[in-house]
Structures are given as structure tokens and as C-alpha cells.
A and B are shown apart, each in its own frame.
Chain A
């Protein structure tokens, strides 16, 4: 469903974050992107929904060129792509409900939503989304009153409101306790089984083994590996993470 062709990104300060990266993502995959910090994982994910504009190359979603879409078209594309962030990116002073509802902004009437009015239908949908991640009872709480794991679940519920075909998860568990990592990734896995394609960047290799159907590895903005998780042996690991790296395991549940 997603075709990434020769994508490069050079930031205005000269940093080359992506160099000529190409790969395809098929429907229903759980694709994991790995690599060191600064290897270009976040840039790659943000190029897909064009939060960052790639300098070169093209990205096609179901044969539509995302990189060439004008602003209105781009917003239509974006609303079908959910995104989950490392820092959750919730509005901390708003309620959980408002945060989840805001995932729906690409769909609803722009005027009523501007003054904060939401239809009963949208509210029901938001409660359902919160129910799917198991925190329907927190709908009225302020976002910053929740624990980190709960906040990330709100982030997933917000993405669900978009009725996405594709979820981009940028280090969704890097700011969480290792014990909580599995619970978050299990929600993503569940969504994946329900038919949503997931592209997720991760740090810990054991999590990669557990969840990925396919892996793409980046090093200094260059794609150095593409294949199944099982194919990553010690040599490949050193190639991706460098000579001094030691495999650290996240605590398993």
C-alpha cells in the first residue's frame, strides 16, 4: 500500500537525515524501523505524512503521490494515517476526552468544532476508542493527571478516531517503563490484526523480534537492512548499531 522511492532529506543546517531510502510496505504488515538515535527513523516516519517535507524522492500511498499533494489534499491523506508519538504529544491541560476528539478534526464540521461543540455520535465514538485501550473511565480527567502508559493509550485512542488505514508509531515506548512497553505494543498488534497497517520505530531488539513482521534498519540515513527479524544475527546487529553496541533486553512480561 505504501511505496517509498529514493527519499532523501537534507535539513537547512546541512544535516543529511535520509539518503536515498526506498522500500515498500504491504497491506496488513507490522513493519518495524530500527537504528540508533539520529539514524533518521523519526525523519522517515514524518516524511510519510509530510510533517517533514522530503527534499528528494516520492512516497505513494495506494498510488497517490503524497509528496506532490497540495495542502487540502494532504489533509485528506493525513486523516487516514494515524500517528503515535514518543512524547505522547497530548495537550496536557485539556481533558482526555478533548484530546481523543481532536483526532477527529479532519472529518467534522469545521465551524462547530471551532467553538468546541461535538456531536453525540463523535463523543460515543471517542468513548469506544478509549474503551478499546481500556481507559474509558478516564475520559473526564486532565491529560497530565494520567500516568505515562495511560497517556500513550490516549495517544492510540486519538489515532483510532481517524479510522486509519495506516498507523505511524514513532518510538511509542521509548519514554515508558520497559514493563509497560509490551502492553502498548500489544494494543498496536491487536489493531494490526484488525487490518491496520503499522509502521513503528523501536529501540529494543527483543521487542522487534516479538512484534515485527518485517524490519527495515537505518544507519546514518541509509537503509542498511530489510528483511525479517529472525535474519538479524550478531554480525548484522553490529553492522546496524556499531561495534561497541551490546544487546540490551527489555524486561519481558
Chain B
């Protein structure tokens, strides 16, 4: 008795360890890589933590000098001023790939500086960004671009924009975009939960053993409904959304539909369990008064299950808000779609705004739904 139990425990332990070893290999786990590559994520996470929420109007001032590349292809800047906002390069012309130092004096202090090449045909190239100090001075090592940049004796110019924030802080366009998408997300969750409720509530009675499982047809319906609920519940709404987006093209509509389908199954199962757990006494009492079956359900079953139903609906609205935040990743619309766009464009600050919005809304929904459910029981 004792040894067999010991043997069994040893076997289970071995199996669990084996499962972890297999998993470790299958998932290509490499924690060394994780730690070596951690710096890769640094910029991403700092940007996430500094979301793009507010902006200020920016005043742009531009100074420029002629700068021939290569030398002698065009006349250089004739004479540089020695006061006022001005640019001073260490050389007055350069050959491609040569490096030289560009200094700026008496520009707007504490401003962002954008240095760029302006070609004779008005095209501009490669902005380098830096900042001026409190005296409006900056210095930067600039590489002459490896191109033939003069045309018809006109030199390309080095242009420097100073961007000075002016005026009050105001919500950034990102914030507005995120709020708009968030509204869509919340409505997606609201609508899919509501539609799912209207479909799941009647179906759940068909999947409740105490109501339906009578006779051959009843049993068949019961097992069929249970099977459908169990299979649909197995899918994450995102897998479902993948199919719906493929069918209905991108947008919140397929997202809401996918969410509805999975919620029907999920709510249907929970509802049917609530129906199965009712006190059979009142049902018996109503049958004894000569009430018809539909009245027995209306007066004997419904009052018993409605509070549970409401509690589950609120709970699912909460879950569905959470899921709608990511359903856009597979074409479902809402904030997930926006977040995916930001991420594909490497706009990490903007992505940070969306993520913080998600955190706040999900947190609030979680809190609210918990409060409502506490009241109901």
C-alpha cells in the first residue's frame, strides 16, 4: 500500500519533470538570450512609460547656409554673419563622406533642432535631431552626404530648424485617436454582450438538464447544445475574429460578431448551469397549481435565475471589454487596431498612450463589475 503510493508519486513527479523538459525544448527557451537582449527592449519600455498624451504648439524658425558638396561644385556661403542666429561650419565645403562640425549660435534656447540638407531641387534629406542648450548653442558632427549635391552651380544648403514649444499644453492628436478607438471598443463589448445575451438566454434552457433532458428528443437537444457550447467556448475570440475578419473584411463589425459567437457559448454554459442549480420546489408547487409549462418557467424558474444571469452578463461585459482591446490585432477594429498600427510604425510613445488607456479602462471595468456583482449576491 505504502510502496505503491510512493511509486505513484515518484511516477507523477517524473512525468511532470519530463513535461517541463519537453516544453523547455519545444519553446526554444533561452534565458541567456533574454538577459543579453534586454537592452533591446529598453527604448520600447521607456517609450511605453512616457505616453504621448499632451502636446504644445511649436514655433519653427529656420536658418540656413549654402554648403557645396563636393567642394568647388558651386560657390560657398559668401560671408557668415557674426551675430544673431547663425550657423558656423568648421569648413565651408566638403567632399562626400567627409565629416565636419556644425555649430549654431544664438538660436532659440532649449529647443529641439532639426538639421537637414536641402538640395537645389527643393528636396530635403535626412534630418538629424539634437537640442540647443540654455544659450541657444548646439554643436553636431555632420557627414557630407555621399551624393553629387550641387546642380547648375547652385549649392545645396544646410538648413536648421529650431522647434520651440509655445503656448499651453493641450491634448495630443494621439490622445483623441485613442479615446475615439476606446469608445468603439467599449461599444463593441456592450453590443456583443447584449446580442449574445438575447441568444444565449433561451438557448441555455435547452442546455439545462432539468428542463430539457426528457425523452429521446429532449436528450438529443440537450447533448447537442452542450456540445456546441463546449466547442465554441474552446476558441479564444481572437481566433474567431480571424475567421470573421476574413469573411466580413476588417472593422469593428467582424470583431463584434466574433466576440458575440464566443460569448453566446460562454454565457450559454453559465446560464444553463444557473438553471440547473435552481431549487426545484417552486417549480413543483407551480405545476401543482395547474400552471402551464411556460408559466412555470416565468414564475418558478426566471425569478430564481435572473440575479445570476445579470451577474454573469456584467462579468462578461468586463471580460469582453478586455478582449475587445486586442481583437483589433486580427482586424477587429477598436483600440487594438490602432495599437497594432502604432506598433507596426514603431510609434512606441503613441502605443504607450493606447496601452495606458487600456489599463485604465480594463481596471475600471474590473472594479465596477466586481462591485455590481457583490451587490447582486
Point out the residue from A75, A87, A89 that lies within 8 Å of B292, measured CB to CB.
A75
A43 in contact (CB, < 8 A): no
Q: Are B281 and A105 in contact (CB under 8 A)?
A: no
Within 8 A of A (CB), among B190-238: none
Contacts of B282 in A (CB 8 A): 89-91
Q: Are B299 and A158 in contact (CB under 8 A)?
A: no
- Interface residue? B147 (CB, 8 A): no
CB of B99 within 8 A of chain A? no
B125 at the interface (CB under 8 A from A): no
A162 lies within 8 A of B284 (CB): no
Cβ–Cβ contact B290 & A91, under 8 A: no
Q: CB-CB < 8 A to A158: which residues of B?
A: 285, 289
Kindly state whether residue A103 has any CB partner on chain B within 8 Å.
Answer: yes
Shortest distance in angstroms between A242's beta carbon and chain B's nearest beta carbon?
A: 29
**B-contact bits for A160-175, CB 8 A (1 contact / 0 none):** 0110000010000000
A75 contacts B291, CB within 8 Å? Answer: yes
Q: Closest Cβ of chain A: how far from B108's Cβ, in Å?
A: 71
On whether A78 and B287 interact (CB within 8 A), knowing A105-B295, A113-B295, the answer reads: yes
Nearest CB of A to B294, in Å: 7
Expressed in whole angstroms, the minimum distance between the Cβ of B205 and any Cβ of chain A is 15
Q: Is B331 an interface residue (CB 8 A)?
A: no
Stretch at the interface among B66-74, B261-269, B300-308: B300-308
Closest to A81 in B: B288
A51 touches B298 (CB 8 A): no
Q: What is the CA–CA distance of A28 and B288 in the complex, to the nearest angstrom? A: 21
- B279 contacts chain A at the CB level, 8 A cutoff: yes
A12 close to B (CB within 8 Å): no
Report B-chain residues with C-beta under 8 Å of the C-beta of A98. 299, 303
Are B290 and A78 within 8 A (Cβ)?
yes
User: Which residues 349-373 in B have Cβ within 8 Å of A in the complex?
Assistant: none
The answer to whether A85 touches B290, judged by C-beta atoms less than 8 angstroms apart, is: no
Considering the complex, give the chain B residue whose CB is closest to the CB of A87: B281
Task: State how many residues of chain A have any CB contact under 8 Å with chain B.
Answer: 36
> Once the chains are docked, how many angstroms separate the CA of A51 from the CA of B281?
12
Q: A85-B281, A114-B294 are in contact. Are A91 and B299 (CB under 8 A)?
A: yes
Looking at the assembled complex, report how far the CB atom of A79 sits from the nearest CB atom of chain B, in whole angstroms: 3
Q: Is the CB of A162 within 8 A of B281?
A: no
Contact of B281 among A75, A89, A159 (CB under 8 A): A89
CB of A110 within 8 A of chain B?
yes
Name the distance in Å between B291's Cβ and chain A's nearest Cβ.
4
**Alpha-carbon gap, A71 to B300, bound state (A):** 19
Out of A89, A93, A114, which one reaches B284, CB within 8 Å?
A: A89
A78–B299 Cα gap in the complex (Å)?
A: 17
**Roughly how many angstroms separate A114 CA and B281 CA in the complex, as a whole number?**
20
Among A79, A90, A94, A168, the residue within 8 A (CB) of B290 is: A79
Tell me the bound Cα distance from A103 to B303 in angstroms.
15
A88 touches B281 (CB 8 A): yes
Q: Contact check: which of A74, A90, A103, A114 meets B289 at CB < 8 Å?
A: A103
Of the listed residues B285, B287, B292, B299, the one surrounded by the most CB atoms of chain A closer than 10 A to its CB is: B285
Assess whether A91 is in contact with B303, with CB atoms less than 8 Å apart: yes
Contact residues, A138-162 vs B (CB, 8 A):
155, 158-159, 161-162
Q: Residue-by-residue, is A80-113 near B (CB-CB < 8 Å gives 1, otherwise 0)?
A: 1111010111111110001000111110001001
Q: What is the CA–CA distance of A92 and B280 in the complex, to the nearest angstrom?
A: 12
- How far apart are the CA atoms of A104 and B299 in the complex, in Å? 11
Q: Does B76 contact A (CB under 8 A)?
A: no
Q: Is the CB of B295 within 8 A of A78?
A: no
Give the Cβ gap from B140 to chain A, nearest Cβ, in Å. Answer: 75
The 9 closest A-B pairs by CB, nearest first: A106-B290, A79-B290, A89-B281, A78-B290, A105-B291, A89-B285, A83-B288, A75-B290, A94-B303
Chain B residues with a Cβ under 8 A of chain A: 279, 281-282, 284-292, 294-295, 298-300, 303-304, 306-307
Known: A49-B288, A110-B294. 8 other contacts (CB 8 A): A79-B289, A93-B303, A94-B299, A102-B291, A105-B289, A113-B298, A114-B298, A162-B290
- A sample of 23 inter-chain contacts (CB < 8 A) reads A51-B284, A74-B290, A78-B290, A83-B285, A85-B281, A88-B281, A89-B281, A89-B284, A90-B281, A90-B282, A90-B285, A91-B282, A92-B279, A93-B303, A94-B299, A103-B289, A105-B292, A105-B295, A105-B299, A106-B290, A114-B295, A158-B285, A158-B289
What is A's interface to B at a CB cutoff of 8 Å?
49, 51, 74-83, 85, 87-94, 98, 102-106, 110, 113-114, 155, 158-159, 161-162, 168
